[in-house]
Amino acid sequence: MSKLQQKVALITGGSRGIGAGIAKRFAREGAIVAITYVNGKQKAEEIVREIEAAGGKALAIQADSANPVAVKNAVAVTVENFGRVDILVNNAGVAILKPLEDYTLEDFNQTIAVNVQAVFVASQEVIKNMPEGGRIINIGSAVAESVNSATQTLYALSKTALTGLTKGLARDLGGRKITVNLVQSGPVKTDMFVTADKALQDLLLGFMAVKEFGEVEEIASLVSWVASEDARYMTGASITIDGGLSV
């Protein structure tokens, strides 16, 4: 039997990149999958069709993670359709990269709203319908361990905040056997990243111990393990998978 058979998973930001990879991996492991998206309706529906074509169940929900009402609604829609949420993957994120003097207060608020507030709101809402033994998995970044280039101040701030949030949630929910863990990813070959500035890619490669970028499936595989019963005894942990970028 697949490791996530009949588990209900909600993955925020699941229409592309790492989120889409996690959604498809979970479905292959037997999970029922709900994903959220902001503007990528077509891509989200493609993910759903791909999962359904393979015999799985999936649902796409439009929800802007910067809006706490939308985040709560995404949880409610998942529960309405599938009865509960066994696994929450807080994957949605935003990276506003600018020189320090060019940041605005709006940039700060948007970064915190999506990368931190949404994680808190979704976690708080989902536990109302999460059974004993549930999983909350936050997707962070290796910049929480090492900031290797300029213009990442707000992004690094928000991803570092997830360390404390993860540990606090783990303490709060441990009595219910709900585990909360943080997966900190390094550079991965998503559509957005491979079209990014070549100079930035070369810079990051120079800092890495393994001189190549990760694959989406490698991150999804780790997240799938964290979501499984095999990871029952791990909570409050930060796991970095970054090719040695932060070594």
Domain ranges of the chain: 8-241
Residue pointed to by tokens 């949605």 = 92
DSSP per position, 98-140? --GGG--HHHHHHHHIIIIIHHHHHHHHHGGG--TT-EEEEEE
pLDDT per position in the chain (247 positions), as tens? 589 999 999 999 999 999 999 999 999 999 999 999 999 999 999 999 999 999 999 999 999 999 999 999 999 999 999 999 999 999 999 999 999 999 999 999 999 999 999 999 999 999 999 999 999 999 999 999 999 889 999 999 999 999 999 999 999 999 999 999 999 999 999 877 766 678 888 888 999 999 999 999 999 999 999 999 999 999 999 999 999 999 9
Q: Domain 8-241 in CATH: superfamily?
A: NAD(P)-binding Rossmann-like Domain (3.40.50.720)
The pLDDT of residue 193 is 75
Strands lying side by side in the sheet with 58-62: 58-62, 32-37, 8-11, 87-90, 135-141, 179-185, 238-241
Residue 204 is classified by DSSP as: H
Residue pointed to by tokens 């101040």 = 153
The pLDDT of residue 149 is 87
In degrees and rounded to multiples of 5, residue 123 shows phi and psi of: -65, -45
- Provide the angle, in degrees to the nearest 10, between the axes of the packed helices 68-82 and 118-126: 30
**Active centre residues (catalytic):** 155
The pLDDT of residue 1 is 56
Whole-number Å distance between alpha carbons of 162 and 138:
8
Contact assessment for residue 49 and residue 76, using Cβ atoms and an 8 Å cutoff: no
Residue 188 is classified by DSSP as: B
Contact assessment for residue 156 and residue 147, using Cβ atoms and an 8 Å cutoff: yes
- Does the pTM surpass 0.85? The reply is yes
Contact assessment for residue 9 and residue 26, using Cβ atoms and an 8 Å cutoff: yes
Of the candidates 111, 136, 140, the one whose C-alpha atom is nearest the C-alpha of residue 125 is 136
